[in-house]
Amino acid sequence: MDQKIKIELYRTMVLIRSFEEAILRDYHADKKPAWDIGAGLIPGEMHLSAGQEPVAAGICANLSPGDGITATHRPHHLAIAHGVSLKALAAEIFGRETGLGKGRGGHMHLFDPASHFSCSGIIAEGYPPALGQAFAFKWKKTPNVIVAVTGEGAANQGAFHESLNLAALWKLPVVFVVEDNDWAISVPRHASTAIASNAERAAAYGIPGERIEDNNVEAIWRSAKTAIDRARSGEGPSLLEIHTVRLWGHFEGDAQAYRDDLDAARAHDPLPAYEAQLISEGFLDSAQAEAIKEESAAEVEAALSFAKASPLPDAADALRYVFA
């Protein structure tokens, strides 16, 4: 893998982490002393993706203009890696009129038609619309693909099964990705899924399936490339399960009392690990790493400043956009 790609992967991961840390900070900043989920500049549920950056970076580095991605309730890392405007993303999270959905959607409902990005807060239910985007690409005869992402908890939902079957049957240009972060809120994977690897479920649809261990961004990049190339060339869908890590709570405010793997998880933070790898491989030095972090932080702060300076929607417009 050439240096350019490696640095790009690293840069994307850093940018995501910067963003999530900034949101984390601002989310909690004004909820004290009595922590109230509905209060503050950013209200509502907040599902952050720290630890899962390698998935987003590794996949999206293989996407071309016109390709799309469909995410879940935990969508920021994928949106950022896919190139969704940081400003419009932040503004949506802050509920502003300048946001991706003019503040109507919120952090689980991000739609960027320009980059064919979307997400859904309902488990596994992002998959079916992704089939339709793939169908439209096929009909338009553009060589584009859709990557549809869910968590490992979602792999037990009916929509998962129906979507894989239909995509395989119609050879739609989709890559199905399962982010296995070991947990579905408080339920560990072994208490929800009858088998150890969802990659084995690919056989149920006659499509390739692969499980990628260790949250390794380069391995993810390589496998995603194979699957995306395959979809792009008309050979149909693949299923990738990526073992990743949820560093923080399911959502903010989650005390994670149920969790016994927190120390282990923190020891597997992919960011310092990849940084160390690139440094030891000689592709990066600490100064460059610092510079990338600073650039990312600056970009993120600019986006958040933009968001905070943007107007809130006008209550008088509350009934708009129900119908086109």
Partner 1 sequence: MTVTEKEASPATRRLTTSKAMVEGIAQEMERDPSVFVLGEDVGAYGGIFSSTTGLLERFGPSRVMDTPISETAFIGLATGAATEGMRPIVELMFVDFFGVAMDQIYNHMAKIHFESGGNVKVPVVLMTAVGGGYSDGAQHSQCLWGTFAHLPGMKVVVPSNPVDAKGLMIAAIRDDNPVVYMFHKGIMGLPWMAPNPRALAPVPEEAYEVPIGSAAVVRQGNDVTIATLSLSVHHSLDIAEELSAEGIECEVIDLRTLVPLDRATILSSVAKTGRLLVVDEDYQSFGLSGELAAIVAETDPRLLKVPFMRVAVPDVPIPYSRPLEYAVLPTKTRIAAAVRKLMG
Ligand X SMILES: Cc1ncc(C[n+]2csc(CCOP(=O)(O)OP(=O)(O)O)c2C)c(N)n1
Residues at the interface with ligand X (CB under 6 A): 73-74, 121-123, 150-154, 179, 181, 183-185, 246, 250
Other CB atoms within 10 A of residue 105 CB:
18
- Least distance to partner 1 from the beta carbon of 314, Å? 7
From residue 219, alpha-carbon distances to 213, 244, 302 in Å are: 8, 12, 32
Which window, 46-54, 151-159, 212-220, 287-295, contacts Mg ion (CB under 5 A)? 151-159
Query: Sign of torsion, CA 177 243 15 29?
Result: positive
- Least distance to ligand X from the beta carbon of 185, Å? 5
User: Per rule CB under 8 A, is residue 109 in the interface with partner 1?
Assistant: yes
Nearest to 167 by CA among 71, 237, 67, 70: 237
User: Per rule CB under 8 A, is residue 321 in the interface with partner 1?
Assistant: yes
Helix, strand, coil percentages (3-state) for the chain, rounded to 5, are: 50, 10, 40
Measured from the CB atom, the residue of 47 and 116 that comes closer to ligand X is 47
User: Per rule CB under 8 A, is residue 187 in the interface with its own copies?
Assistant: no
User: Per rule CB under 8 A, is residue 287 in the interface with partner 1?
Assistant: no
Which window, 21-29, 127-135, 146-154, 302-310, contacts Mg ion (CB under 5 A)? 146-154
Beta bridge partners of 147: 69, 175
Is the distance from CB of 100 to CB of 65 less than 8 angstroms?
Answer: no
Question: 69-98: which residues touch partner 1 (CB under 8 A)?
Answer: 92, 95-96
d(CA 37, CA 134): 37
**Which residue pairs from 276-279 have beta carbons closer than 8 angstroms and sit at least 24 positions apart in sequence?**
278/6, 278/7, 278/10
User: Per rule CB under 5 A, is residue 72 in the interface with Mg ion?
Assistant: no
Among 71, 124, 224, 245, binds partner 1 (CB under 8 A): 124
Q: Alpha helices, DSSP H only, in 233-269?
A: 262-267
Which window, 99-107, 197-205, 207-215, 231-239, contacts partner 1 (CB under 8 A)? 99-107
Residue 317's binding partner out of partner 1, Mg ion, ligand X, none, with CB under 5 to 8 Å set by partner kind: partner 1
- Least distance to Mg ion from the beta carbon of 169, Å? 16
**Helix or strand holding residue 12 (H, E):** helix 3-29
Residues that bind its own copies (CB under 8 A): 156-162, 164-166, 168-169, 191-195, 200-201, 203-207
